[in-house]
Structure 1
Amino acid sequence: MAIVNIHGGFIFFYIFLTILPLISSDSDYEALLKLKRSLTFTALLDSWKPGTEPCEIWAGVVCENGVVSGLRLGHMGLSGKIDVDALVSLSGLRSISFTSNSFSGPIPDFRKMGALKGLYLSGNKFSGEIPSDYFTAMTGLKKVWLSGNQFTGPIPYSLGMLSHLTELHLESNQFSGTIPPFEQTGLTSLDLSNNNLVGEIPSSLSRFDATSFKGNPSLCGDNIGRTCNPFMDSSKGPVENDISVNATTKKTALWVLVASILLLLLMVAGICVLRRRQEEDIDVLEKGNLDDLNYKKKSSVGKKDYNSSRKGFGSGHRAGSSRRGSGDLVMLNDEKGEFGLGDLMKAAAEVLGSGALGSSYKATMTNGLTVVVKRIKEVNKMGRGQFDAAMRDLGRLQHKNVLTPLAYHYRKDEKLLVYEYQPNGSLLFLLHGDRGISHAKLNWPVRLKIVKGIARGLEYIHTELSTLELPHGDLKSSNVILTTDYDPLLTEYGFCSFIGSAQAAQELTAYKSPEAILHYEVSPKCDVYSLGVIILEILTGKFPSQYLSNGKGGIDLVQWVKSAVSEGREVDLFDPDIANTVNVIGVMQQLVHIAVACAENNPEKRMDIREVVRRIEEVDVPDKGICHQGMKTLDVLPSLSDGFGDQTIVPHQSPAFEHYDTHGSDKRDVDVGDQSGRISFAFDAT
């Protein structure tokens, strides 16, 4: 009898384990539909339909073993009141992202979700004060992103009690008061910039540099090089302290402050004089407001129109005594000849633009060589030895589709990278900004040549820089430069080793991959996702919203294409400039499917770069006898079925967006009202 009971127990337990996922799935299904009903402007959630499987085709739903574990609902134009009770009933939910939508009002009551590990609400219009004990019960939280909202009041003290906290981003709000004593040793990414915080920065945050605290004029501490007033109450700002002290103390404090300022000014003046003398010989670029100048390229004739006059790098400075190819300019490649800082300072310089990491300049030297000098300021405090080693790794790269730096210059506050200038400019400009002769040459054979070159170059970078977490990290059309023969050259690779993780997450395209957005996990597979986006951009002629940091403009290219493929409408995707090309529709469809496979939501299902190159190499223009008529559909490959849904993707309809930043580019105004993705902007040709 006991044996029967034991066996019966095992049978019951087995049945329970078998039906548990089904019960959870049904529960998740109802909870998600309830959540959708609480939202407005849900056009991009059309795949959330009764009778369909959430874990198979519902947009933004991430599952593990048939249970919803994450919601990635960023950039979907959503608003309304988030039904937190519906979210609570999702027992397996560990990460939610509502970034870059239109939610407003107080922060929803997510504190009911004690098991949550990631909370991403950046880029909305949430406002008001967050209760001090709001995060007390959310003991599992590791990543909290509330940046770009309108929150006020003090930073919730309970954030400092989250023992597992690794990332905290509260920048660009209106938080006030002092900073809580965050003592979590695992906290690796922190941004409190552009708020109204006051007082001394806690010593427990001494490992974070000034970028984490900029834009808070009443903060002080060693991190930002601002000495705290010994008479200041750290719980108050300077104005409050002046009011609270008595008249005698105020007068004494004022005299001490004046004396300190005078002494400081004298010291700074002395240091500036000494530094000026030391740097006269190595000051490569003329000081001034050069970063605000634009480089514009006229679309009709392809000529350059500069709103700055030509000037020498060394205007107002003597040439110096740098030796050719040595000294302060380190040559990495002398195939184009050797040159030194003196040659650059005597060259006529033209400002190309400024971007996320710094500014770019074009210089033609007396030997006829034209180069692009990238002046990079926003880099981490990498020592000279580390920077030299990193640049040697980049300098030894030799590939037909990789633009290798010729030389570099190291200085503590800024670095210069020197490349050979390519007059055809970038793929971004030729696809979207230039409607003249150069754009007309982007026929199908040229576009296929560009796709293959980009893939080959990326495979080479992944092989040679395999030790980097992100071998490229910033693959997008603005970082693909075209030679006079329209061979693509990849640039801006390997920069993840130069900049901190917080800045990388904000600036590098690899962090726009699904796993980076949802879990902040990055790997070489993120580059493969970026490759999929750029292939789709080449085929469709559409400007991807994945390139933008403000969520305005462009089109969610991946979701738009996946929807069309699932409905067998690949033919409708192609750029009209190549869609009428004879005999190639079937070939284009093959390439679409490869690109979509690159852009798989799940990185484990995504191909590695070697497999991508192998499949792309098999794509070619068919024999002339093959006609494209009747080739309206192509069976969806089994590996591409995940993530596809019967949905209609509606791009953002904002009339224009500004400040599309690339490394070495300036302000853009992009008209996307007709969803064509055509651009007219100031552009960096390098």
Structure 2
Amino acid sequence: MTVAHAYAHLFHVLIYISILRHVNSSESDTLLEFKNSVTNGNKLTTWNPSTIPCNGNKPNWEGILCTNDAISGIRLEGKGLGGIIDMNILTKLPSLITISFQNNSFEGEFPEFKKLRGLRSIFLTGNKFSREVPSNAFEGMRRLKKLYLADNHFKGRIPFSLTTLPRLRDLMLQNNQFEGAIPVFVSDKLMIVNFANNHLRGTIPKRLQKFPASQFSGNSELCGPPLKKCTAEIPISTIILIASVVVAALAAITAAFLILRHFGPSAKDSFQVPPTYVKGATPSDHHDKMEQGCGKTAAKKIDSSHKLTFFRNDIEKFDLADLLKASAEILGGGVFGSSYKAALTREKVIVVKRFKHMNNVTNDEFVKHMRRLGKLNHPNLVPLIAFYYQDEEKLFVANYVQNFSLAVHLHGRRSNVRQTLDWPTRLKIVKGIARGLLHLYNELPSLIAPHGHLKSSNVLLNPEFDSLLTDYGLVPITNQEQARDVMISFKSPEYKQHGRITKKTDVWSLGVLILEIMTGKFPANSFQQSKGGDTELATFMDSVMKEEPTSDVLDKEMGGFDKRNEGQMLTLLNIGLNCCEPNVEKRWDIKEAVNRIEEVREKNDEDDNIKHSKRRPWLSFKKN
């Protein structure tokens, strides 16, 4: 290279740096302008002109997503922000494709998102919007895939411009005040929808009838599959008669309620709201926490006039009053709700799980599914004793298991709670998990993912270190938006790549769990509500193995590394890898996986020569 060429090259580099600095400076100014336009913007302490927002793909400012030094997303969730969203400011960020302001206090007119036609995702769930969404609000937004408007107070009709979007995939409109008919959508890519708890009426469009009834519940005037059959219009005289009967019935119910309230349990007997889940805590911080007490935070009361529903007649019955009076301590707060240890008597100790994110499930659907779960009986499943259903309160009651969860024993801080798991114990645990999972497949054949949320914190260990699966069979009764964000099945390769789970999804979860047990490594997204779960799991898997397994990747705390058992350890590790096959077609089904696990022994035969299970070369998960 000549001196002239070198100077020319340097000149171009300097020009590029100058342009880059100008772009970053411009975007910084735009974000600072937006910060000043919202209420409580001063909470965004990292947004300051002393640094640039993006450094390549790495953000320097909180809540910013970066791609090649450009701002591709804003994710400010639960920050206490309010006021209006000024789209005239945000249109100065041309690379913006994702906006999320969930769980804040924004209000006012619906933002003019159509000014940014490249947007792919809009998340506004849990704000204070209360006006109509203009009919043309989404005109021209042909790239929009995800729209989350739930838990606001939007009024009026569902905007017609939504129906014309060709790539729309997620549409969450529940818990608002939308009215009128559900329009017909042109997109055949809709995979997640929720219209529950609005004021919608009329027939559900044919293309949407494939979704569960829970996604349309709370709209008394909606009809057609999957809801009740549509009937002819009722004469006005009949309506008047029905109204009279309803008024009389309401008067009777009100009187009964006042009597129960006067003579029923006092407010001090109500359950207390537990401490909130802290993202980023270690498993021992937020799983199986003991001896914390319930605190004195105010809470919604459980109506003791309702009864617990028991699954079997051969157990000692108790009622809600007994539960409310029992001494209780919080065991932990997970993604579905909180768990309490309740001592009814010195001998009778139970666990009460208080579930949230199930409010779109009707009473009939919930009861029917719970009865199916209550019939399950297997030594590797935590049996359910009873359940309780109210619109805003759902409880599961099960026997208390004394020895904590697998997650605590693998990853908890060293204490008298945690015991190191040797190889025979880990093999016993894996076999118990596999047997329990196979029983779920056999007894719940209609469920695509009979467990759906298999991870180490959902495997309890009794004093003999037998595996007991918990939190199984919840997919059909869980709010679909919540299930997609937090349940392990929805972090599988098939869901990340194709937006679906399959009969082999639980096998993938089993494989991840086997690798966690054998390596002692912690797959972070099993415990955190991470949008990038597939990347985290891919990193976890790649850290376990690149090509062929060796004893170097096994958990050193497991002990017992010698020629008598090393081959069997690696055989089980290989089984885990085969269960984690990203290609669903090549992945083992549950029976094959369980059969292979059952063949693993504590020690090699003398003629084994440490032979390893045959498997395919390791491939990383494909990223979206």
TM-score, normalized by the shorter chain, greater than 0.5? yes
Matches within 5 A, 1:651-662: none
Indicate which of 466, 490, 512 corresponds to 1:487: 466
Letter in 1 for 2:418: H
Matches within 5 A, 1:66-465: 79-81=66-68, 106=93, 108=95, 131-132=114-115, 134=117, 145-147=121-123, 157=136, 159=138, 168-169=147-148, 180-181=159-160, 184=163, 189-191=170-172, 201=178, 203=180, 208-209=195-196, 275=257, 277-278=259-260, 281=264, 286-287=269-270, 289-292=272-275, 304-308=290-294, 328-366=307-345, 368-465=347-444
Counterpart of 1:526 in structure 2 is 505
Q: Which runs of 5+ in 2 are unaligned?
A: 1-19, 21-56, 76-90, 103-110, 184-193, 200-215, 220-251
CA distance in 1, matches of 2:552, 2:146: 42
Assess if the C-alpha contact under 8 Å between 1:343 and 1:366 holds in 2: no
Q: Which runs of 5+ in 1 are unaligned?
A: 1-37, 39-72, 84-96, 111-119, 139-143, 213-221, 226-269, 650-686
Counterpart of 2:587 in structure 1 is 606
Matches within 5 A, 1:472-621: 472-547=451-526, 548-550=528-530, 556-562=536-542, 565-578=545-558, 580-582=560-562, 583-621=564-602
CA distance in 2, matches of 1:284, 1:370: 24
CA distance in 2, matches of 1:579, 1:98: 47
Residue 499 (structure 1) shift: 1.9
Q: 1:553 to 1:445 in 2, by over 3 A?
A: same
CA distance in 2, matches of 1:202, 1:160: 21
Residue 361 (structure 1) shift: 1.5
CA-to-aligned-CA distance 1:327-380 (integer Å, 9 cap, x gap): 711111345433233432332222333333332221111372100111223213
CA distance in 2, matches of 1:371, 1:459: 26
Q: 1:147 to 1:200 in 2, by over 3 A?
A: closer
Aligned residues: 469
Q: 1:303 to 1:409 in 2, by over 3 A?
A: closer
Q: 1:383 to 1:304 in 2, by over 3 A?
A: closer
Q: 1:496 to 1:165 in 2, by over 3 A?
A: farther
Assess if the C-alpha contact under 8 Å between 1:443 and 1:578 holds in 2: yes
CA distance in 1, matches of 2:92, 2:583: 33
- The residue matched to 1:292 in structure 2 has which SS? coil
CA distance in 1, matches of 2:197, 2:389: 21
Letter in 1 for 2:575: I
CA distance in 2, matches of 1:309, 1:165: 44
Counterpart of 2:615 in structure 1 is 637
Assess if the C-alpha contact under 8 Å between 1:429 and 1:478 holds in 2: yes
Residue 403 (structure 1) shift: 1.0
CA distance in 1, matches of 2:458, 2:319: 26
CA-to-aligned-CA distance 1:145-179 (integer Å, 9 cap, x gap): 44499xxx999957467899885347899x9x998
CA distance in 2, matches of 1:168, 1:368: 51
Letter in 1 for 2:555: D
Q: 1:308 to 1:338 in 2, by over 3 A?
A: closer
Residue 585 (structure 1) shift: 2.3
Letter in 2 for 1:306: Q
TM-score (norm 1): 0.56
- The residue matched to 1:415 in structure 2 has which SS? strand
CA distance in 1, matches of 2:620, 2:149: 32
Assess if the C-alpha contact under 8 Å between 2:333 and 2:339 holds in 1: yes
CA distance in 1, matches of 2:197, 2:114: 27
Residue 287 (structure 1) shift: 3.8
Q: 1:169 to 1:585 in 2, by over 3 A?
A: farther
Residue 470 (structure 1) shift: 2.3
Residue 505 (structure 1) shift: 0.8
CA distance in 2, matches of 1:200, 1:412: 18
CA distance in 2, matches of 1:99, 1:335: 56
Assess if the C-alpha contact under 8 Å between 2:507 and 2:589 holds in 1: yes
Q: 1:107 to 1:362 in 2, by over 3 A?
A: farther
Q: 1:339 to 1:367 in 2, by over 3 A?
A: farther
Assess if the C-alpha contact under 8 Å between 2:420 and 2:558 holds in 1: no
CA distance in 2, matches of 1:98, 1:594: 39
Assess if the C-alpha contact under 8 Å between 2:379 and 2:468 holds in 1: yes
CA-to-aligned-CA distance 1:514-560 (integer Å, 9 cap, x gap): 12123221122221111111111111111102312236899935544
- The residue matched to 1:589 in structure 2 has which SS? helix
Letter in 2 for 1:292: P
CA distance in 2, matches of 1:555, 1:108: 23
Letter in 1 for 2:368: A
Q: 1:121 to 1:591 in 2, by over 3 A?
A: farther
- The residue matched to 1:493 in structure 2 has which SS? coil
Assess if the C-alpha contact under 8 Å between 2:523 and 2:537 holds in 1: yes
Assess if the C-alpha contact under 8 Å between 2:136 and 2:161 holds in 1: no
CA distance in 1, matches of 2:374, 2:613: 44
- The residue matched to 1:410 in structure 2 has which SS? strand
Q: 1:355 to 1:451 in 2, by over 3 A?
A: same
RMSD: 5.5
Residue 479 (structure 1) shift: 1.0
TM-score (norm 2): 0.61
Assess if the C-alpha contact under 8 Å between 1:395 and 1:406 holds in 2: yes
Q: 1:344 to 1:644 in 2, by over 3 A?
A: closer
CA distance in 2, matches of 1:512, 1:283: 44
Identical positions, percent = 33
Assess if the C-alpha contact under 8 Å between 1:558 and 1:599 holds in 2: no
Residue 183 (structure 1) shift: 5.4
